[in-house]
Structures are given as structure tokens and as C-alpha cells.
């Protein structure tokens, strides 16, 4: 089953979808997604982009078993998990949903502790290993000092980091995120996505205190380091995020998937997918694409109806005066 | 930009974070343990008061003698046929209702979701009244077992009707469907009562108000058996559904199966509510309020054990007040226990509603 590259135990495909069809209501209703074939790289960050209603979120629902597959099958890290139990699946694939809810009065530590549910037996209590995972998750999201605060009292950015910490405490090699940056201001969007792109693969991590996610994440030294190559030592989780904001998607993702009406229309490196033709197909958007001057990822510059016409009135800038 | 650097810059924070998490876990556990211990002590004190104190008082020494088999004229009868069965029935019924309420609350993710609001208790009551009417012609009426079976069938039928009307588990739709089914159950009760004979009517009226008056050891044995069977199942289901607190998508992603396990939880909860209702009648508001009362003590953490203990304490206290205190104050007058839980429960529920509305408004 596994596709060998260098190490026979390390599959290069994180999620392999074959003939996957998803939909709501009776089976006769047209599918919302698919049938699609899709390979998403292991140990890398994939962003799924597309207009509203294109099936991005439905695809995530299928990947997390909230919605049963109508047809086809999904391989996770080279394994067919269709027969796996709910808890076993939850030890492999985690989800940060679009609108997560916390209980009234729940503290950050209590919320993050819920991430240990799939690792616990039905009768077993919380043990020291759970505490270690929770502590590591709080550390890598910089929430240790807020651990006893109530989740509802946090700011939007802090709250989103608390939910990321829950996903981290789940310690899964595959992490799915449904629009993790909605409702955040730009600085917090960048902050959350930098955390997301460097989520560690728990299977290869040393004990969390010594060389866990904390050690593998760069400090807040500026964007150059976070957007560059990841540290070679720490393998990353397979991350799949549905993202709205194209330039942030290009900044954080190694792989982009563009969807239109339940079908994949383009997949590849950001520079391959974010080209004017695809943007016109996917979003009906007229845009220019330029490389980011510092980081090199493509930047989308949207153009409106009047933008490409030569200006008729006298503009202020001298370069525009040359048009006349 | 973020307070991050101050936390992660220093080396060796991993150990202190681990310590902090362990400390918080122990604090949570201590709080839960204290709540369980406090509720247990309260329950035992109330039960002791219920058995020993009242219009007819029994000394602890006499009580022990009676339990060990000695016969004390007068006292033996009152303890064994009146005080003790009422105390035991109140504890069991309260625990069953409290546990049922905790299951409904968690499964349906709504503080107002409970078997009494959602028509399940009313369904059980309607089935029992219908059964009373059907067996009225027979001499001696039917057995306690048939009565409990009728209650269970009624509760499950009401639950199934709610599910069919709502077509899903959870959401506002479920609550509205439950209220509608409850109203239909009330209509069945009212209609059936008209066909009862004068004698049956009086017994049915007292039972419908939620009364421990007519409780017998036979009914208690059935209630005890049902509770012993269903409470452990309820505990396991409540635990397995813990991720549902965080919403359905997260619950599924954390390895819970909200639909399957939730359906099982609602069925077990209906069974518990039916067992309690068959024994002591539809006690108003206990299932609804035991959960919030318990969460107040645990610091917001849902606990089925605490909810069951709180339910038991509430019913014993209500029975103590209804039967003994009013008898002392008003010269022998006795209220059905359900009148008291209803009278205390209604304002508490309104207060909960207002508080919920205020919090929603504050957050928006």
C-alpha cells in the first residue's frame, strides 16, 4: 500500500482519495463533491481554495467521517482506515471545525484536555501521559499562562490558538482545519497559520518536553523564518486547511487544491495553481499574480472592471501622466 | 505581536507547564470529589431526617432495632411501611431522574433538554393512566410490573414521536417537538381521567401530582432493579458523549459517535425517567434542575454522579417538606411531593432562562 520514496515506512501521500463522492439527502440527489481522485502530500500543508459553495467544507466533512462517503475510498497515510473504529480514526485524523463551541465556564486547560478523549479507554482516567501532551500543546500555542482562564474570556486570536492546542493534544499525524482564520484580524491570521504550517507529526516526535512541537517551532523572529523551509529535523503533520484568503493560503501552503462545483480543477504548488487562468475559472476573478518580493510565494492582485482601462482624468502621479 | 515570546523564550518551561497541567487536573478532580462527597453527606442527612424526624419521631436506637428485626408497637409499622419506603423511593427516583436529566442535557446540548420538558415523563404518565383505565374493570387492578412496563412503553413512544417529528437529535427543533409531544401526552391524561371511576380517579390524581404516598416495597424493588441496571449504562454513555459538549463536528473528530451513542443515551434516559415515574408519578422539574444544581457545585463540569445525587437529595428534601413539615405546620395536612418540586422548580427554571438570555445577549 505504501508508496516508498526514501524510507519504506514513510508514505509520500498523506491522503489518497479515489472516486470519492459526497452529498446530502437521498442518494439520488446530485453529489456536492466528486467523484474526485486526489492525492495530498504527507508531512506538508495543503490549502483547499474555491468559491463559496464549491464543496470545500463538505470534503472536510467526508474526511472526518461526519458525512459518509457515497462512493469511493480514502487512504490515510497509506492505510485503508474504512474499517477502523471511531476512536482509532480520531487518533489519526483531527479536525478544527469552522464554528467550534466551548462549554460555559470551561478553562483553556479543560478544553485542551478534551483532545485526549480518543486516547483514553471508556473507563480509564486521565494519566500523566495525557498531562504531558496537554502541557506540550499549551506550550506550542503559547497558552501556558492562560491555561486556567475561561475560554469564553479569551480574545479571538487566543481562542483560536486554544482550539489549535486541543487539536495538538489529540496528537494525530493528520490535521484538518476548516477556515481556521475566519473572524481574526490579519496579524492573528498570520500567527495562526504559521502555527498551522508547522504542526508536528506526533508519531516521530521525541517526548514532548524535550524536542516536541515547542522546539520545532521557530520563535517570533519575523516572517522570513516561518515561511522558509521547515526545520529538517522535525517531521511535520499532514495538514489540510480550507482557506478563504488566497494570499495567506499561498504563504502558508506547500500544496494548493482549487475546487469548482465539487470538482478539483487545479492542484500543485502555489505558483502552479495561483495563475490568472485558474483564478478566472475558480473565482471568476480577473487578477494579476506577482511573486512576493521577500518570500517568493505568488501574490494575487485582484482587478476590477475599470482597473485595466487607461484613466481619462488627470491622475496625480507623473507615471500615469505619460498615458496622455 | 503576541505574548508568545515571553512564554516560550525561556528554556525548561516544558517541565513547569507539565506541572501546572497536573496541578490543574488535581484541582479539577478535588473539586469533583468534594462535590460528590458534599452531595452524598447532604443526601444521607436528609434521608436520616426523613426516616427519624417528623410528626411521628423515631430515635436512632429504635430505628436500628427495627431494622435488625425487632418489633416495636406502632413504630415498626410506621418506619417499615411509611417512612423508610418513602425515603428509599425518593432517593432512587431522584437519582434516576437526575441521571436521566444529565444524559438529555449532554446529548441534546441544551440546558432546557430534560425528560420532563421533552414529553418523555408525560408519555410515561399518559401510558400509566391509560393502563389504569384499561385495568379498572378487573378486580384488584394490575400488577406493579405491568404498570412499570406501561410507563416504559409510554416514555419510549413519546421519545420516538419527538425524534420522528424533529428528524434529528438535538437543536431547537427537538425541543419544540418535545414540548408538542408533552402537550399531547397531557391531553391523553386529561381525556383518560374522565373515564376513570371515582375511586381510581382520586388515586390517579394524587399519583399524577407526583406522590410518594402510595409507594410500596414492590414498586421500590422494581425501581431499584431498573436503576441498578440503567445507572451504570448511563454513566458509560455520559462519558462516551463528553466530546459532544464541544459541538458535533468536534465530537466526531474526537472519536465519539453522537448519533448512535446519543440515541442510546436518550433511550436509557427515557428508561430511567419511566422507572421513576411508574413508582412515584411524574415529579416535576427534578430531571431539569438536578443537572444545573450539580454543575453549580462542580464548577460547570457536567457530572452524571453529581446530577444523580443532587436529584436524590432534591426529592428527599421535597418529600420531607411536603409530608412532614407541612403536616407539622398545618395540622396534619399533606401535600403531594410533586407539588413542592413544581412550586420550587418553576421559579428556578425561569431564573435559568433569564440567565441564559442575559449571557447570550452579553456575548452578541
CATH number of the structural domain spanning residue A221: 3.40.50.300
Instruction: Please tell me the predicted confidence (pLDDT) of residue A202.
Output: 85
Per-residue pLDDT, B211: 83
The alpha carbons of chain A give a radius of gyration, in whole angstroms, of: 21
Nearest CA distance, A157 vs chain B (angstrom): 9
Residue A260, domain extent: 13-321
Residue A294 lies in a domain: yes
Q: How confident is the model at residue A226 (pLDDT cuts 50, 70, 90)?
A: very low
Q: Inform me whether the C-beta atom of residue A61 falls under 8 Å from chain B C-beta atoms.
A: yes
**CB pair distance less than 8 Å for B5 and A219:** yes
Helix (H) or strand (E) segment spanning residue B263:
helix B258-280
Chain centroid to CA B355: how far? 22
Nearest alpha-carbon partner for A97 in A150, A167, A31: A167
3-state secondary structure (DSSP) of residue A5: coil
* Confidence grade of residue B3 (pLDDT, cut at 50, 70, 90): very low
pTM listed for this prediction: 0.86
Q: Does residue A6 lie in a domain region?
A: no
Alpha-carbon distance B10 to B18, whole Å? Answer: 15
pLDDT tens digits, A276-308: 999 998 999 999 999 999 998 999 999 988 888
| pLDDT per residue as tens digits for the range A80-92 | 988 889 999 999 9
Amino acid B332: pLDDT? 65
B69 touches chain A (CB under 8 A): no
Dist. CA A58–CA A66, nearest whole Å? 9
A315 falls in which pLDDT band (50, 70, 90)? Answer: low
ipTM, two decimals = 0.85
CB neighbourhood size of A107 (10 A): 21
**A46 beta partners:** A240, A255
Cα–Cα distances (Å) from B352 to A7, B111, B287, B292, B359, in that order, read 59, 9, 14, 9, 11
**Per-residue pLDDT at B313:** 96
CA distance A277 to A259: 14
pLDDT of B327 reads: 73
Three-state DSSP class for A255?
Answer: strand
Q: CA Rg, chain B, in Å?
A: 23
pLDDT score for A169 = 94
Among candidates B22, B245, B256 on the partner chain, residue whose Cβ is nearest the Cβ of A131:
B22
Confidence check: pLDDT of A233 > 90: no
Say if A37 is an interface residue toward chain B (CB within 8 Å).
no
- The residues with which A74 forms a beta bridge, in sequence order, are A17
- Which is higher by pLDDT, A321 or B77? B77
Give residue B142's pLDDT band: very low, low, confident or very high (50, 70, 90). low
Chains A & B: contacts with CB separation below 8 Å: 145
Beta-bridge mates of residue A241: A47, A177
Q: Is A2 within a domain?
A: no
The answer to whether residue A120 is domain-embedded is yes
What is the rounded average pLDDT for all residues in chain A?
83
Using CA atoms, how far apart are residues B336 and B331, in angstroms rounded to an integer?
A: 16
Q: Which of B1, B249, B253 sits opposite A90 (nearest CB)?
A: B253
Does residue A3 sit within a domain? no
Q: Per-residue DSSP letters for A196-219?
A: HHT-B-TTT---HHHHSHHHHS--
Q: Total domain count for chain A?
A: 1
- Is the pLDDT at B4 greater than 60, yes or no? no
Asked if the structure places residue A261 within a domain, the reply is yes
CA distance B204 to B281: 9
Residue A317 lies in a domain: yes
Selecting from B7, B13, B246 the residue whose C-beta is nearest the C-beta of A114 gives: B246
- Residue A248 falls within a domain, yes or no? yes
Domains, chain B, in order of start with CATH, read 35-352 (1.10.3470.10)
Chain A contacts of B250, Cβ < 8 Å?
A: 95, 97, 100-101, 166
Contact A111 B246 (CB under 8 A): yes
Highest mean pLDDT among A127-141, A299-313, B261-275: B261-275
Amino acid at each position: 500500500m505504501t508508496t516508498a520514496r526514501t524510507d519504506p515506512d514513510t508514505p509520500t501521500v498523506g491522503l489518497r482519495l479515489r472516486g470519492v463522492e459526497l452529498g446530502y439527502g437521498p442518494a439520488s440527489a446530485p453529489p456536492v463533491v466528486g467523484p474526485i481522485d486526489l492525492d495530498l502530500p504527507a508531512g506538508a500543508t495543503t490549502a483547499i481554495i474555491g468559491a463559496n459553495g464549491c464543496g470545500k467544507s463538505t470534503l472536510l466533512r467526508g474526511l472526518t467521517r461526519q458525512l459518509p462517503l457515497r462512493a469511493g475510498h480514502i487512504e490515510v497515510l497509506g492505510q485503508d482506515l474504512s474499517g477502523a473504529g471511531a476512536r482509532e480514526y480520531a487518533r489519526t485524523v483531527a479536525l478544527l471545525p469552522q464554528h467550534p463551541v466551548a462549554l460555559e465556564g470551561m478553562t483553556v486547560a479543560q478544553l485542551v484536555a478534551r483532545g485526549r478523549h480518543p486516547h483514553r479507554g471508556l473507563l480509564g482516567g486521565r494519566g500523566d501521559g495525557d498531562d504531558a501532551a496537554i502541557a506540550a500543546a499549551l506550550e506550542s500555542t503559547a497558552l501556558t499562562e492562560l491555561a486556567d482562564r475561561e475560554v469564553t474570556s479569551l480574545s479571538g486570536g487566543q481562542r483560536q490558538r486554544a482550539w489549535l492546542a486541543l487539536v495538538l493534544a489529540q496528537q494525530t499525524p493528520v490535521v484538518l482545519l476548516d477556515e481556521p482564520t475566519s473572524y481574526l484580524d490579519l496579524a492573528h491570521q498570520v500567527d495562526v497559520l504559521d502555527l498551522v504550517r508547522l504542526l508536528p507529526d506526533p508519531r516521530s516526535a521525541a517526548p514532548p518536553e524535550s524536542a516536541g512541537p515547542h522546539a520545532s517551532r521557530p520563535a517570533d523572529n519575523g516572517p522570513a523564518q516561518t515561511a522558509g523551509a521547515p526545520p529538517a529535523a522535525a517531521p511535520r503533520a499532514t495538514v489540510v486547511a480550507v482557506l478563504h484568503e488566497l494570499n495567506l493560503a499561498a504563504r502558508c501552503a506547500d500544496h494548493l487544491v482549487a475546487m469548482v462545483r465539487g470538482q478539483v480543477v487545479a492542484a500543485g504548488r502555489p505558483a502552479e495553481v495561483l495563475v490568472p487562468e485558474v483564478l478566472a475559472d475558480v473565482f471568476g476573478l480577473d487578477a494579476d499574480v506577482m511573486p512576493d518580493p521577500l518570500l517568493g510565494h505568488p501574490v494575487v492582485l485582484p482587478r476590477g472592471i475599470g482597473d485595466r482601462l487607461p484613466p481619462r482624468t488627470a491622475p496625480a502621479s507623473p507615471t500615469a501622466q505619460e498615458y496622455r | 505581536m503576541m505574548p508568545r515570546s515571553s512564554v516560550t523564550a525561556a528554556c525548561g518551561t516544558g517541565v513547569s507547564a507539565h506541572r501546572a497541567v497536573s496541578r490543574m487536573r488535581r484541582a479539577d478532580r478535588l473539586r469533583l470529589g468534594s462535590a460528590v462527597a458534599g452531595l452524598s453527606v447532604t443526601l444521607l442527612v436528609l434521608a436520616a431526617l426523613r426516616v427519624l424526624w417528623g410528626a411521628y419521631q423515631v430515635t436512632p436506637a429504635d430505628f436500628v432495632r427495627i431494622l435488625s428485626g425487632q418489633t416495636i408497637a406502632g413504630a415498626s409499622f410506621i418506619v417499615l411501611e411509611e417512612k423508610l419506603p418513602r425515603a428509599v423511593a425518593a432517593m432512587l427516583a431522584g437519582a434516576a431522574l437526575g441521571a436521566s436529566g444529565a444524559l438529555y442535557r449532554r446529548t441534546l446540548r441544551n440546558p432546557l433538554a430534560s425528560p420532563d420538558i421533552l414529553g418523555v415523563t408525560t408519555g410515561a404518565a399518559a401510558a400509566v393512566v391509560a393502563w389504569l383505565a384499561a385495568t379498572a374493570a378487573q378486580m384488584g387492578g394490575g400488577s406493579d410490573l405491568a404498570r412499570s412496563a406501561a410507563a416504559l412503553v409510554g416514555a419510549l413512544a413519546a421519545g420516538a414521536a419527538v425524534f420522528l417529528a424533529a428528524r434529528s437529535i438535538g437543536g431547537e427543533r427537538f425541543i419544540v417537538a418535545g414540548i408538542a409531544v408533552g402537550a399531547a401526552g397531557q391531553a391523553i391524561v386529561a381525556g383518560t381521567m374522565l373515564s376513570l371511576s371515582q375511586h381510581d380517579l382520586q388515586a390517579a390524581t394524587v399519583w399524577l401530582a407526583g406522590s410518594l404516598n402510595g409507594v410500596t416495597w414492590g414498586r421500590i424493588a422494581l425501581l431499584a432493579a431498573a436503576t441498578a441496571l440503567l445507572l451504570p449504562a448511563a454513566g458509560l454513555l455520559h462519558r462516551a458523549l463528553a466530546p459532544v459538549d464541544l459541538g458535533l463536528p468536534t465530537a466526531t473528530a474526537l472519536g465519539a459517535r453522537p448519533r448512535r451513542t446519543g440515541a442510546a443515551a436518550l433511550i436509557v434516559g427515557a428508561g430511567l425517567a419511566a422507572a421513576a415515574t411508574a413508582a412515584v408519578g411524574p415529579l416535576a422539574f427534578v430531571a431539569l434542575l438536578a443537572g444545573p444544581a450539580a454543575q453549580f457545585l462542580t464548577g460547570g463540569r457536567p457530572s452524571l454522579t453529581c446530577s444523580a445525587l443532587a436529584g436524590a437529595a432534591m426529592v428527599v428534601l421535597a418529600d420531607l417538606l411536603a409530608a412532614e413539615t407541612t403536616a407539622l405546620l398545618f395540622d396534619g395536612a399533606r401535600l403531594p411531593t410533586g407539588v413542592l418540586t413544581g412550586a420550587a422548580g418553576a421559579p428556578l427554571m425561569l431564573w435559568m432562562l433569564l440567565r441564559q438570555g442575559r449571557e447570550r445577549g452579553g456575548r452578541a
